[in-house]
Amino acid sequence: MRPTFHTRSTATVPAILAAIVLTAACSSSGGGPIYEFQPTEAPLRYMLSSEGGNDIDTPAGTQGATYTSEATLTLQVGEAVENGTTFTVTIESMVLETGGDFGSNVIDLTDDVTGKPFRGWMTWDGELTFTETPDISRDNLSSADLQRVVSALLFPLPPGGDMAVGSWAHRVTLPMGGGLEGESVYDGSIAVAGDTVWNGIQATVFVSEGVLHIEGSGQPQGAPSEIELVNDVEARTLYIWDYERGVLLAVGGSGEGGGEISTMGFSMPMAVFSELDIQLVP
């Protein structure tokens, strides 16, 4: 039985995306459970779906925005280096649909992202350093927004693969995106949550819990003036891990929160949410 996650984790529309049978062969150390990312001989392919939105208390009443997205991604893991685990993620296709009181739109980013890899490394606590990102700029979306999509496939396993450590840090800092300058900073911890079966595969469940702090400013395309945005989101993400092969099988995250958005002399409360599901493609 394939687990299905309905989750909520980061995001306003300006910070969308601020808010997984194996067919790819992976090398394996053999002899026991593997709790480290293994170098891949062929890309692992994942399907991602997400939805979310925000509600803003404006002087004219509550106004909301929503989004849904569907994407296909591949993940290649390289040999471990001194700085951490190297990775290459390529978004093969992506369609984003927005709606709500601010209007609706469908954005197909497939032609913008196909064949343009994101490369970098992940440290033991989950921090990501990108050494290569594609140049993408369309409808207030940029490479910064897509780094958040890429980050959904990466998480820190127990340091040294030692499950006896109990819990360990999970920290990720990414650029704001959405036409704003700033950062999103996730500060949490990760631990073992139990075992499960995914499509007949025995797996370990890891859970990451923490707070995502989003803060940025700027004048996105179409905005009448500069805006400032501050949000804090309580986030919880599950990672399903094939410990025999050392492969990520699925991800599901949830989060809700809020803060304020300020523009033209008004400071308005806002609530944000999103849901995420990632599954490895058979």
Per-residue pLDDT of the chain (282 residues; tens, 9 = 90+): 333 333 333 333 333 333 322 323 333 344 689 999 999 999 999 999 999 999 999 988 999 999 999 999 999 999 888 889 999 999 999 999 989 887 888 999 999 998 899 999 999 999 999 999 998 888 778 888 899 999 999 999 999 888 888 899 999 999 988 788 999 999 999 999 999 999 999 999 999 999 999 999 988 777 778 989 999 999 999 999 999 999 999 999 999 999 999 998 889 999 999 999 999 998
Q: Smallest Cα–Cα separation from 146: which of 207, 76, 73?
A: 73
Q: Smallest Cα–Cα separation from 281: which of 76, 3, 74?
A: 74
Q: Which residues contact 103 (CB under 8 A, 6 or more apart)?
A: none
Locate 211 and state its tokens: 């707070």
Amino acid at 279: Q
Give the span between the Cα atoms of 263 and 21, in whole angstroms. 50
Domains and CATH numbers, the chain: 13-280 (2.30.230)
Q: Smallest Cα–Cα separation from 221: which of 140, 146, 141, 104?
A: 140
What kind and span of H or E run contains 143? Answer: helix 143-151
